[in-house]
Structure 1
Amino acid sequence: MTLILDPDPAVPVVSAQLWVETGSLHEGAILGSGVSHFLEHMVFKGGGEFGADELATVVQAAGGHWNAYTTFDRTVYYIDGPASGLETFLKVLAAMVFAPAIPEEEFEKEKDVIRREIDMGLDDPDDVASRLMFSTAFAADPRRHPVIGHRALFDAIRYEDLTGYHRSRYTPDRCCLCIAGDFDAEVMRESIQALFGKFARGTGAEPVVPQDGVQLGPRRGRASFAVPASRISLAWKIPPLGHPDVPAYDLAAAVLGRGRSARLYRRLREERELALEISAWSWSQAGRDGLFAVSAEVEPEKRDELVGAILRELADFPSSVLDDELAKARRQIAASQFKTLTSVSGRATDLASNWHEARDLDFTRRYLAALNATTAADVRRAMARLTEDQLTLTTLDPEDAPPSASLRPNVRQRPEPECVTLPNGAVIALLPDHRVPVFAAQVAVRAGLVSEIPENAGLNTLLASTLPQGTIRRSAAELAGLLESHGATLGAASGNNALLAQLSGLSPDLSTLLPLFSEVLAEPAFHGDSIQREKASQMASLRESLEDPLSTAFRLARHHLFDGSGYGLPSLGSEESLTKLDRFALSAHHSRHFQGSNLVLALAGDFDPGHAREVLAEGIGRLPEGTPWIPPAVATTGDFEIEAFLPKKQAVLTLAYPGCSALAPERFALRMIQEWCSDMAGPLFTRIREDLGLAYQVGATQFHGHDTGFFGFYMATDPSQVDLAQRELSSEIAKIAEQGIPEEAFERVRATVLSSLAIGMQSPASIARLSAIDVLFGLGVTHHRELAGIFQALTPGEVKAAAGSLLGSTPVVVRVLPREATH
């Protein structure tokens, strides 16, 4: 077994990842069955000294956050959590991966769970479009099969197939254990030898894995789906990782389709308005052909014109001037890589991936060097090979649409945060951290969903998407080009209680980027063409959400719980309200809310506080002081039962209760209840999913409001079992209302919450976001650092009281059922 250790005492957090070099490529005689993914599920049923329920409780008690995933060529098990839990995490990984129980009595029950997961994928247009593209591009290569498997082949898996696959593939010589974070390497080597050294090497025999031959002509695939817009993909085979042309394709993909200033986005979405969304990407694996692709969403009537326009752009690409755009692409890729390395989980993934793909822990650095050495001539030569004869074109159309016509940081001491109030009332929170040369600025503005009425629903979402689309001084293309030439990202989003805008970039560029951010906030242009494009994209998202069972369930639950106003409005708006929104509405909303007295900006990362104060005072200080915006009072109603019907395979159930405010003392107890209800060791998962096999997806979610929030339970189940599922869910909720969290589980839940807090405070972007929202609600700039102590002081009695208060009312119940279902 390969062992990779990356000790770093900067934060008391670790990530332990066990990579098994087996995936859907390696399924041999039962290729396409999804047995690799099935085995990933089954090893969580206990192993070694741990029983079926003990794995989850032990991990939770140690504060661990665990999960796994299966891809074409790997299965990865990982646990992130506090450094104090590392020994426990390794014991669990050793037991579940190399000595799993794989109980036969759980075999058929877990099969039913995965069948629901397969159904969920077949209900997801992105999943369906991806399957269509891979199955068309690859003819013999096993990647033509979905990792989760085809339903018929999955149904045919026998218990002996599963256990035999484990014996042959889950062997130490096919595994890499990577640990990053706060630990002693010498001590850890001894522990790992004791835990893993007893497992036997495998036979070394490998299944025959076919590869595609040379593609001799274009390939096309088409399917229809309940979507409002077509999804198209144009893909070409490219060489495996390690070929000198691979960096050229990565750079070309960034030039063509990475960001708002990318060629395809700028020319085909912004200027010609052919695409609703468009991007380009390059994907390579070691030893196997990869793909270079352009993916887009487009209105069906513009689909064929867009395909032609994309092909012309690619045909013209080799003869175009590239030097400036390649420099920007290199900066973008470097910035993205640096951001990945800000967390222990990201560093562990980077190292393990390097070993898995290249057997070279330094492969990331070598690859970035190869990118820097790739010339414009190299890119032109590589792109000239992407001819129409080698094209794979796939289209997922609406059901009524006609067919187509044809890197690692240095650890330094972090200075203490500080808050500054500008003369115009804006509050600036500064949180320096010099470990990685990046920064993030987060603005929080009092507005959000609660500031809307039914007639202008969707206004905040549209304002957020339009805000970065140019300023009075610069066009959208100029703004995007300037940002992306510095490897920076700027975006905005709308929440329940606030409008949020975030900028991130490399620290040497702070003096250039922060004034640009202030310009976007103070002087947005709201160009009519930008508004129309973003409205079209938002309308497409709205229509798609109306066809999604879980989105529909939550939309109806919120609507009835909040009596159709405030938090009860759909964040994307309605077709009627979205149609009416215009430049005047956006400008008026911006003028009312983007005022100093309504705004907090938090800056986190690598910067000089004195210099940052000067730059922000000059930029954010230009906003008018204004008057504080006071959110309206929220009224709630209950005792509703609603049914809705969609042409889907799954049923979704939600139960919604009035939650608490953002400053309510019980919010910490409710966080514990949410974790208890969402965790794999909690009552909903163990009773409804594991014991009864009623649901693939079950859990709880919440948000806090200015005065009243939302707390909801949800589950996805088989339509024939929805009545039983609702009774069982209601029964478990009643137990929680009466008993709270049992004392034997309380410390496990607390450990998970505390671990989640620590993991969520690693990157500058997350720190800036937490601080901006806290200060907006009147809390201190270091409130996020106080949370661990608050949760440590919570008692089971306090949580029980909060549970009883929360769940004492009659909820709003929503059932979303397949249209053909009868009850």
Structure 2
Amino acid sequence: MFMEFPVTSATVRILPNGLTIILDPDDSAPVVSSQLWVETGSIHEARLLGSGVSHFLEHMVFKGGGDFGPSDLAETVQAAGGHWNAYTSFDRTVYYIDGPASGLNSFLDVLAAMVFHPHLPESEFEKEKDVIRREIDMGLDDPDDTNHRLLFNTAFSRDARRQPVIGHRHLFDKITYDDLRTYHATRYTPERACLCLAGDFDPAVILGKIDALFASIPRGSGEEPLIPVDPAQLGPRRGRDTFAVPTSRITLSWKIPSLGHPDIPALDIAAAILGRGRSARLYRSIREEKELALEISAWSWSQSACEGLFAVSAETSPEKREALIAAIREELAAFPNSALEDDIAKAKRQIAASQFRTLTTISGRASDLASNWHEARDLDFTRSYLAQLDAVTAADIRRAFTHLTDSVETLTILDPEGTPAPASIAARKRRRPEPETFTLANGTTIALLPDPKVPVIALQAAVRAGAASETPGTAGLNRLLASALPKATRHRSAAELANTLESLGAAIGASSGNNSLLIQLSGLSPDLATLIPLFGEVLCEPALDSASIEREKSSQLASLQESLEDPLSVGFRNLRSRLFGKSGFGIPSLGDESSLTSLNRLSLAAHHSLHFRGPNVCLALAGDFDPAEAKELLTAALDPLPGGDAWHPSRSEVLDPSELVVPLDKKQAVLALGYPGCAALDEHRHALRMLQEWSSDMAGPFFTRIREELGLAYQVGATQFHGHDTGLFAFYMATNPDQIELAEEELRSQIAQLGSEGIPDEAFERVRSTVLSATAIEQQAPGSIARHAAIDLLFGLPADHFRQLTGIYETITPDEVRTAAHQLLAHRLPVLIRVLPPSDPTA
């Protein structure tokens, strides 16, 4: 059954100066997304190609514009409750602000000022260059970034996309202040821009505001830059590098035509069949059966007017590297001659489900519309492209596969250091029904939160377990169980389960946290009667077979080894163990090599038996469904869960303050300072949410003082979690090792001021607005709603408690936040972790 993507009701208007205006009003939720897309990116940098000037300019426009001073932009957005950011890619720079509908006028004021009338203060030029230099260094410490650079630099010989968006350090250093201003004047012009608004607004009213802000901006002039493109690739290309990673990362890719070519939909379907999900052919054959890969996927990437890539990406141990490459080639060679019809139907369903999920949030809808305009100048391009996908046949895929010839193949390998080189997208407006909560005979608590806006559903189970249920000898157990749990059941093999789910465009997964194990499922509403019984099988009767567990252990071990090379991960791993000791929240979620080695099927089965009991399980279903039908299905699906007594975690240990220096041979240094935080039901938890926002926001003291004024950090902020009886509130910063002492001094100074003064009265309403808008945004998608409800139920709160948060934050006072800050930060010293490069270069 093909489900058509809805025809958009959005409208397009082009101002006389060339600025495109897309308006998509929707009053189903009191939120808006305002996005300004500028059609310029790293490929448009002309003589500055490879310098990253597009990305640099994106940073600099946040320094003030129009009538807004350096801090006024952030304060205005915060006061209006906005959440803002920007990104730069190959062919676009996008600025967006999401928030409450009441803030739209302010959001437009800010976007117009920063994008078209930025101050670009010369006094900030070198300071921001230092920030980006550290960002470049962080990228060089990141294996994913390195692998991406290796692929694009090898696959493309002259194409502008072979240059990293952030730029090469030596070219970035050469950018002058005049270069920056000239690039803005030349590229940030209205005929190269699109303003897209989606959400709760009156088009007639907002058009007047738009005209007042944007209509007088003069149209640009000058020719478009000459963008280098590749000549025809006439032979295979190879690239290899090494990095501090535990596994080899392999990518086999082929050049494919640009978006718009009739074979592109067929190649997208082929990529989904081969590598999308656990029932995909490559996953089943190469990972599960041959056990040659830890992870494997396939993808197809295409843009308008330029070549794209069809690729298979995989991770494996170095000794299996060449066998893996051979197996991938063997699978792809056999693919066109195999039976494809059933897999084609599954792939179409998967892609349709993914596109429908974009409609569940206003931000997703705005992005879909703006992207459609950017690529095709057609707001309904997603709809027409899905129709093209639905028309794909096996014959189309076989024809499209002829593009994947040896002459356009590229192979890249990122090996561990020391490894020898190889030998060879209009939601329906309906009234939202009230939630219902009920308890089964076995003690399982279930909440139904129907919302018929979009035909999708989300199911979330929260099981009382998590970090508090582990010991040093079982560290990583919850993470491993979460990985193995949704793979197969006693009644369905891994292939059968994955194939059934993915044929419906559905997905199931699990994760572990501090207080619980979480199992989630998403899918389309018509499949409710199929999906709920499957979810029940996964929850009640997982197979937990030894072979699958061993594969997941290998993947978890690789993740562990990689995390031990990441400065921020190392900082928080040590912070938690220093604060909570060797039990509960002090145990690393990934475990360690010793504990992972000892875990087996018996360990996981015993853990499942202890925790997966009715009184330990809370479940929430959100989305478009019939409550009566859902209640009947859930009752039958979860009835096999045993009853008995609820499991309760032991009391957490909180250790005395201490300091630790952790040597790590990286280009950056990390500071992490942690304090015992709130329990999940602590009266101060909402006040600490305000403190966290103030400490992490771009208008807050940590960002403005440490990053902007002093240029001491690329990353700085705060994070927290709430546990069953205590929690963690932590501050962190990534900085230059040479500046570590000054950075620590400033960080401690800001924390001390926060502990004594809380949030300044003049900033309090701005922080409140930001928290309120974040709360509204989090309550849009069914997956987020179900997650909130299930976790709240687990702690004894009502299923709709998350809907009460708006009222709580509207009434919280500066004195309450000041009291919480003083209690958190003034009564004891923190645990302090410094992650630094070794002082001895040979260490």
Asked if Structure 1 and Structure 2 have the same fold, meaning a TM-score greater than 0.5 normalized by the shorter chain, the answer is yes
Q: Does 1:624 align with 2:637?
A: no
- What residue in structure 1 maps to residue 832 of structure 2? 813
1:333 alignment partner, SS class: helix
Q: Which amino acid aligns with 2:60?
A: M
Deviation at 1:568, TM superposition (A): 0.5
SS in 2 for 1:341: helix
TM-score calculated relative to the size of structure 1: 0.99
Tell me the distance in 1 between the aligned counterparts of 2:251 and 2:836.
Answer: 31
In 1, the alpha carbon distance for the partners of 2:754 and 2:631 equals 48
What percent identity do the matched residue pairs reach?
A: 67
**2:602 corresponds to which letter in structure 1?**
F
The one-letter amino acid of 1:272's match is K
Aligned to 1:386: 404
**1:77 corresponds to 2:95:** yes
> Residue 330 of structure 2 aligns with which residue?
312
1:385-438 Cα deviation digits (max 9, x unpaired): 212222100000000211122233211111000101111110010000001000
| Aligned: 1:343 with 2:349 | no
Gapped regions of structure 2 (runs ≥ 5): 1-18
1:666-716 CA deviation, whole Å, 9 max, x = no partner?
000000000000000000000000000000000000000111100100000
1:109 to 113, 116, 127: 127
Native 8 Å contact 1:315 1:384 kept in 2: no
Q: Give 4+ residue runs of structure 1 displaced > 3 Å after superposition.
A: 820-823
SS at match of 1:756: helix
Is 1:63–1:753's contact at 8 Å kept on the other side of the alignment? yes
After superposing the two structures, state which structure 1 stretch, 372-381 or 251-260, moved more.
372-381
State the distance in 2 between where 1:405 and 1:539 align.
27
Instruction: Write out aligned runs for 1:684-695 (5 A).
Output: 684-695=702-713
The equivalent of 2:798 in structure 1 is: 780
CA distance in 2, matches of 1:820, 1:284: 46
Distance of aligned partners of 1:821 and 1:810 in 2 relative to their CA distance in 1, 3 Å threshold: farther
Query: Counterparts of 2:749 and 2:582 in 1: how far apart (Å)?
Result: 28
CA contact (8 A) 1:259 1:484 kept: yes
* Code of the aligned partner of 1:813: L
Does the 8 A contact of 2:256 with 2:403 survive in 1?
no
Aligned equivalents of 1:337 and 1:246: distance in 2?
17
Equivalence for 2:48: 30
Equivalent position of 2:300 in the other structure = 282
User: Does 1:480 pair with 2:498?
Assistant: yes
Query: Which residue, out of 284, 300, 306, partners 2:318?
Result: 300
Paired letter, 1:85: G
Q: What's the CA shift for 1:818?
A: 1.4
Q: Which residue of 2 aligns with 1:515?
A: 533
Shift of 1:819: 2.4
Q: In structure 2, which of residues 653, 660, 676 is the aligned counterpart of residue 658 of structure 1?
A: 676
- 1:547 aligned onto 2:561: no
Match for residue 217 of structure 1?
235
Displacement, 1:821? 6.5
How far apart in 2 are the matches of 1:303 and 1:411? 52
Counterpart for residue 791 of structure 1: 809
Alignment of 1:370 onto 2:388: yes
SS in 2 for 1:775: helix
Aligned length: 823
Q: State which of 241, 244, 248 in structure 1 corresponds to 2:259.
A: 241
2:249 alignment counterpart: 231
Per-residue CA distance 1:209-264 (angstroms, 9 max, x = gap): 01101101000000000000011111111100100011011001000000000000
Distance 1:413 1:204, change over 3 A: farther
CA-CA distance at 1:637 after TM superposition: 1.5
Q: Confirm whether residue 64 of structure 1 aligns to residue 99 of structure 2.
A: no
1:258 corresponds to 2:283: no
Aligned match for 1:723, one of 729, 735, 741: 741
Contact 2:350 2:505 in 1 (8 A): yes
Task: Supply the AA of the counterpart residue of 1:180.
Answer: A
Q: Out of 497-506 and 388-397, give the one that drifted further.
A: 388-397
Please list the CA deviations of residues 24-71 of structure 1 after superposition, one character each: whole Å capped at 9, or x if unmatched.
000000100000000000000000000000000000000000000000
Q: Distance in 2 between matches of 1:249 and 1:640?
A: 56
Equivalent position of 1:596 in the other structure: 614
Q: Match of 1:696?
A: 714
Q: Is the contact between residue 318 and residue 384 of structure 1 (CA under 8 Å) also seen in structure 2?
A: no
Shift of residue 196 of structure 1? Answer: 0.5
Displacement of 1:772 after TM fit? 0.2
Any conservation in 2 of the 1:331–1:485 contact (CA below 8 Å)? yes
Distance in 1 between the 2:840 and 2:381 partners? 53
| Other-structure match for 2:36 | 18
Q: What CA deviation, in whole Å up to 9, does each residue of 1:427-453 have, x standing for no partner? A: 010000001000000000000011000
Q: Deviations over 1:757-783 (max 9, x none)?
A: 000110000000000000110001110
Cα distance in structure 1, aligned partners of 2:745 and 2:840:
18
Alignment correspondent of 1:771: 789
1:338–1:408 CA contact under 8 A, matched in 2: no
Q: Does 1:441 align with 2:459?
A: yes
Q: Tell me which of 692, 696, 715 is aligned to 1:678.
A: 696
Asked whether 1:358 is paired with 2:346, we answer no
* Cα pair 1:355 1:361 within 8 Å, conserved: yes
Is the aligned partner of 1:127 residue 2:156?
A: no
Tell me how far apart the structure 2 counterparts of residues 381 and 549 of structure 1 sit (CA, whole Å).
47
Give the 5 Å matches for 1:493-532.
Answer: 493-532=511-550
Q: 1:41 to 1:708 in 2, by over 3 A?
A: same
String of CA shifts for 1:804-823, please: whole Å, max 9, x gaps: 11012110100111124799
Q: Which residues of structure 1 form unaligned runs of 5+?
A: none
Residue 586 of structure 1 deviates from its aligned partner by 0.2
1:583 to 596, 601, 619: 601
In structure 2, what is the equivalent of residue 88 of structure 1?
Answer: 106
Pairing partner for 1:710 from 716, 728, 739:
728
Partner of 1:206: 224
Paired position in structure 2 for 1:570: 588
**Match runs of 1:138-217 below 5 Å:** 138-217=156-235
Q: CA RMSD in A?
A: 0.9
Of 398, 401, 422, the residue aligned with 2:419 is: 401
Match for 1:640: what amino acid? S
Q: How many angstroms apart in 1 are the aligned matches of 2:328 and 2:594?
A: 33
Q: Tell me, in whole angstroms, the C-alpha distance in 2 between the residues paired with 1:644 and 1:38.
A: 32
User: Deviation of residue 205 (structure 1)?
Assistant: 1.4
SS in 1 for 2:639: helix
> How many angstroms apart in 1 are the aligned matches of 2:590 and 2:418?
24
What's the CA shift for 1:621?
1.6
The 2-side partners of 1:294 and 1:40 are apart by: 32
Equivalent AA in structure 1 for residue 620 of structure 2 = A
CA shift at 1:516, angstroms? 0.6
Contact 2:485 2:544 in 1 (8 A): yes
Give yes or no for the alignment of 1:137 onto 2:155.
Answer: yes
Q: Specify the alignment match of 2:509 in structure 1.
A: 491
Aligned to 2:341, which of 323, 328, 332?
323
TM-score, normalised on structure 2? 0.97
Q: Secondary structure at the match of 1:538?
A: helix
- Distance across 2 between alignment mates of 1:546 and 1:463: 21
Is this contact kept in 1: 2:761–2:814, CA < 8 A? yes
Q: 1 CA distance for matches of 2:107 and 2:764?
A: 19
Q: Do the aligned partners of 1:719 and 1:821 also contact (CA within 8 Å) in 2? A: no
Between the aligned partners of 1:337 and 1:204, the Cα distance in structure 2 is 38
**Distance in 2 of aligned mates of 1:638 and 1:689:** 30
Partner-residue secondary structure (3-state), 2:403: coil
Q: Report if the CA contact (8 A) 1:229-1:300 is conserved.
A: yes
Q: Is the 8 A contact 1:125 1:227 kept in 2?
A: yes
Amino acid across the alignment from 1:697: Q
Amino acid at match of 1:615: L
Q: Secondary structure at the match of 2:568?
A: helix
